[in-house]
Amino acid sequence: MLRRTTLVMALAVGALATGLAVTVPDKGTPLNLVAARDGQLTPVKPTTFTVVTPGKAISPRTSPVAPVKVGRFVTTPPRPATPVKVGQFKTIQLREITPTQARRARVVPNLLGQLKQIPITRQVPTGTCAISGGGGLFNHPYDFDVSGTAWYRTVPGSPGFYEWFQFAYKLDGLGVGTGDHSNASIRMHEAGTPKFENVSPNDRRLGMWYYVTPTSPVYTRTTSSVNLEFTGTFDRSRRDDPSCTARTGRL
């Protein structure tokens, strides 16, 4: 029995070497053994497993936040206001009119049914001033004076305002060597604040009234005190030009 088993094993090994199929007669179960034809066996590569190493979590980059100081606010500095010089007057334009035009402008028509629309015309007290001097061989004597007044009226629909619509002034007097380049200026103050100023051409004649009207309306508040200054500057040939200022009473 042992010999038979050994013989069968030997035949099986020989069959494997020659690539033949051998049937084992003992059990009746075919034993198919296949050997490589070239006699070389290809080694099988072992399965490679890749272990993933967990990476570190990367946090998003953020800009550093500057701490805010408690109670501190950053604001834009305000622009400095332009200071208004004391005594600075705004220049306005006056249009010269004839005495006839001046009288017509001061007449209030009495039309039936329009009484509420008729403005009330008033005149400020006339202000005057006088100046004299000179005497001697090289300084001729003179005696000059200035008169000035104005008219105003209520504004329809705006009872809190007055409209100043006409001004009048006169330069007068006597003087040896008086020239023909005299002038006059008008200044208005409202509640002590300069309102406007106008300077006439250097062609004012002595003894003549001049009537002027604003080219644009001039308004003051009815609750404000208003006063006017009329300054006359008298031309003297090759001599100093004297001047004086007539002031009206406060409105």
pLDDT > 90: percent of the chain: 47
- Residue 28, judged by CB atoms within 10 A of its CB (0-12, 13-18, 19+), counts as exposed
Computed from CA positions of residues 172, 239, 185, 100, in that sequence, does the dihedral angle turn out positive or negative? positive
Computed from CA positions of residues 204, 144, 185, 153, in that sequence, does the dihedral angle turn out positive or negative? negative
pLDDT > 70: percent of the chain: 61
So what's the pLDDT on residue 42? 53
pLDDT digits (tens, 9 = 90+) for 85-103: 555 889 999 999 999 999 9
- 147, pLDDT greater than 90: yes
**Partners of 212 in the beta sheet?**
96, 167
